[in-house]
Amino acid sequence: MAATHGEPPGATGRASKIRGLDPVAIPPGGAELLTASAPQYIFEAAEKPSLPVVEVPLVEATDESLSGYGCLVDDPDACEIEIVRWPARGWRPVDEDSGDEGGVVEGVFHGAWSGDVLMGRNEAVGGEYVLGWACDPQQASAARATGPRDRVLLWHMNYHPDGGQLFFPLDRTPFVVPVALPGDDLTPDKVVAFWCDGSRGLYIHPDIWHEGIFPAADEQRFQDRQGRVHARVSCDIGAEFGVYLSVPLRR
């Protein structure tokens, strides 16, 4: 669907759904978690400590189970990316024909194992990440797999307040996505992992906590489409809760 107003060069014109965004107050004590810096996404596994593990439930992705999180996608070209209008700072509203003109950006998201370390690379936004490990990071090797790759120990999650995100498998093999519903009061028990069979893509709404795509195979590629603004709100799970989330890759 074409946009109804001007777009910057390079915008695809698919971002036609608009959502309002309300200012959110910082809860008591929440300011202590705020930081002016971004998370460090590339590091040696040994830089992270050994921590207790919280098991994440694995749920088959269906139209029903994904309610509130997003939906399954048959045709990536028909998937509209929700774009959230820039929030007003006072009582005067942002004009309805403005504040949502950044459009969307797209590229290939790569998920690949390097030994015990799962790496992610998002060409759409130029990001590269350590997504997690198949074992205790103090024991993990990036040179070779020291055990089965049947889980990912997850250290970080984020959400995008500016727009939704589509992951469509170019290699039609199963994959897993850890997610949680909106709200800054994220806790480990709120996280669920969706198992997708690889025949369809996955779209998540704005504000949904997530962390890349976890391939069930050694590596996998996805068509990624998301808001060009690419605002990112992060939670360092290991630092904040003193645990890692164990995300299963096998049903």
CB 112 within 8 A of CB 175: no
> What is the CA angle 16-18-22, rounded to 5?
165
Which pLDDT belongs to residue 105? 97
Residues whose CB is less than 8 angstroms from the CB of residue 77 and which lie 6 or more positions away in sequence, other chains included:
none
Burial label for 161, CB within 10 Å (0-12, 13-18, 19+), is middle
Model confidence over 208-248: pLDDT tens digits?
Answer: 999 989 999 999 999 999 999 999 999 999 999 999 999 99
**pLDDT of 143 higher than 80:** yes
As given in the structure block, the two tokens for residue 8 are 């910057």
Confidence tier at 138 by pLDDT (50, 70, 90): very high
pLDDT level of residue 38 (50, 70, 90 thresholds)? confident
Domains of the chain: 54-84+105-248 (2.60.120.480)
Distance (Å, whole) CA 72 – CA 94: 32
Q: pTM for this structure?
A: 0.85
